[in-house]
């Protein structure tokens, strides 16, 4: 039965947005803010967190479930003194849709040569460029979770050829899939490489010079393109810059970076074939997040199992 235990909120989001979302959430239980240094968190069983304070677990020693404020959980798994309790990922239609919209937008941006047309606009040049079709381009998605599969389906609907790679074997309807040691074969087919991998010890720095050198050269786009909206730690930015400067890569769209906010001195800001977005590909809808948390708490308190549990062995 529901016990109305308090829930702790420790989200490094816009405070006004969080407060507005809380107006209609958790009405049957107390809400405690970790940002309040005087708040007594000892009675809380649940915490909704995104990059939480380092002392959260000492202040809230009786937590039973952690709910991530976003799809990624590396910000939780790297915390010191992390208690051995369930961690629940945020999975919601709004989050999934926003991510796949970003992926589709960036694929179309490079297919339709938007960076070059924007340069021509600034130069007041009227020049029509050769126009390939989506069906002539293969998009390779690394990471075939919920976000990757939704992106694949939408790209397929637009006519792109889509293939996917994951660490372990996955069957995805309508998509040719590769896994594990088949990475090189996957890369050799790929014109636009999309990174949607979680950050784990195995994926840290995976998008590097070796991977870029194995992408298909001389395809319809001429040079391959790299998109990353997964985690900044999965990419080696010096290798991206080198690949762009040498022509191994023809362009990139980056939503995540090794250091965020992206330092002002980063060359990415001024590169005409690079699209930079500020980790905004799939911003969490806080109202949807709280609905998700309430639904999972209700499941737990009525004897049903939690969904979207993180496997600490795999890191996602």
Q: Which two tokens stand for residue 281?
A: 């590909």
Q: How confident is the model at residue 2, as a pLDDT?
A: 58
Fold designation for 95-276: Rossmann fold (3.40.50)
Q: Is 3 left (phi over 0), alpha (psi -120 to 50) or beta?
A: alpha
Q: How confident is the model at residue 4, as a pLDDT?
A: 83
Cα(259)–Cα(251) distance, integer angstroms: 20
pTM: 0.92
Cα(197)–Cα(313) distance, integer angstroms: 15
Catalytic residue among 112, 189, 279, 287: 279
Q: How confident is the model at residue 1, as a pLDDT?
A: 47
- Active-site residue, 231 included: yes
Catalytic residue among 59, 89, 231, 292: 231
Question: One digit per residue, pLDDT tens: the chain, 316 residues?
Answer: 457 899 999 999 999 999 999 999 999 899 999 999 999 999 999 999 999 999 999 999 999 999 999 999 999 999 999 999 999 999 999 999 999 999 999 999 999 999 999 999 999 999 999 999 999 999 999 999 999 999 999 999 999 999 999 999 999 999 999 999 999 999 999 999 999 999 999 999 999 999 999 999 999 999 999 999 999 999 999 999 999 999 999 999 999 999 999 999 999 999 999 999 999 999 889 999 999 999 999 999 999 999 999 999 999 9
Residue-wise pLDDT for 26-59, tens only, equals 998 999 999 999 999 999 999 999 999 999 999 9
Asked if domains 7-90+284-301 and 95-276 share a fold, the reply is: yes
* Structure letter (DSSP) for residue 126: -
Residue-wise pLDDT for 257-274, tens only, equals 999 999 999 999 999 999
Query: How would DSSP label each residue in 214-279?
Result: TSPPSSTTSS-EEEE-S-GGGB-HHHHHHHHHHTS-SEEEES--SSSSPPTT-GGGG-TTEEE--S
Q: Name 32's bridge partners.
A: 8
Name the residue with tokens 């490079």. Answer: 110
Q: Is the dihedral of CA 118, 119, 125, 130 positive or negative?
A: negative
Q: How confident is the model at residue 28, as a pLDDT?
A: 86
Q: By CB neighbour count within 10 A (0-12 exposed, 13-18 middle, 19+ buried), where does 263 fall?
A: exposed
Cα(2)–Cα(22) distance, integer angstroms: 19
Q: Is the dihedral of CA 261, 191, 139, 196 positive or negative?
A: negative
* Structure letter (DSSP) for residue 68: E
Query: How would DSSP label each residue in 244-258?
Result: HHHTS-SEEEES--S
Cα(2)–Cα(298) distance, integer angstroms: 7
Per-domain boundaries in the chain: 7-90+284-301, 95-276
CATH 3.10.20.30 assigned to 7-90+284-301: no
Q: Which two tokens stand for residue 151?
A: 């992106």
- Active-site residue, 75 included: no
Alpha-carbon separation of residue 191 from 35, 216, 306 (angstroms): 46, 6, 39
């Amino acid at each position: 039965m529901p016990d109305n235990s308090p829930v702790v909120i420790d989200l490094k989001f816009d405070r006004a947005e969080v407060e507005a979302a809380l107006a209609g959430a958790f009405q049957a239980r107390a809400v405690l803010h970790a940002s309040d240094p005087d708040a007594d968190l000892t009675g809380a069983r649940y915490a909704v967190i995104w990059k939480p304070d380092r002392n959260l677990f000492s202040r809230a020693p009786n937590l039973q479930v952690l709910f991530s404020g976003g799809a990624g959980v590396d910000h939780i798994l790297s915390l010191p003194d992390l208690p051995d309790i369930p961690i629940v990922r945020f999975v919601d239609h709004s989050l999934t849709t926003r991510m796949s919209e970003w992926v589709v937008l960036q694929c179309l941006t490079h297919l339709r040569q938007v960076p070059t047309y924007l340069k021509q606009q600034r130069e007041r040049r009227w020049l029509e460029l050769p126009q390939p079709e989506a069906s002539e381009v293969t998009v390779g998605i690394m990471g075939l979770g919920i976000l990757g599969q939704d992106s694949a389906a939408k790209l397929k609907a637009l006519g792109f050829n889509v293939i996917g790679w994951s660490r372990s074997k996955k069957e995805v309807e309508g998509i040719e899939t590769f896994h594990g040691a088949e990475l090189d074969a996957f890369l050799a087919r790929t014109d636009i490489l999309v990174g949607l991998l979680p950050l784990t010890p195995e994926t840290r720095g995976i998008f590097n010079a070796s991977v870029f050198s194995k992408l298909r050269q001389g395809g319809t786009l001429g040079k391959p393109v790299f998109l990353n909206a997964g985690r900044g730690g999965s990419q080696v930015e010096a290798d991206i810059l080198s690949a762009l400067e040498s022509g191994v890569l023809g362009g990139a769209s980056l939503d995540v970076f090794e250091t965020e906010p992206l330092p002002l001195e980063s060359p990415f800001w001024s590169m005409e074939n690079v699209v930079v977005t500020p980790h905004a590909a799939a911003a969490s809808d806080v109202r949807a997040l709280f609905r998700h948390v309430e639904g999972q708490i209700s499941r737990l308190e009525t004897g049903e199992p939690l969904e979207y549990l993180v496997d600490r062995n795999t890191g996602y």
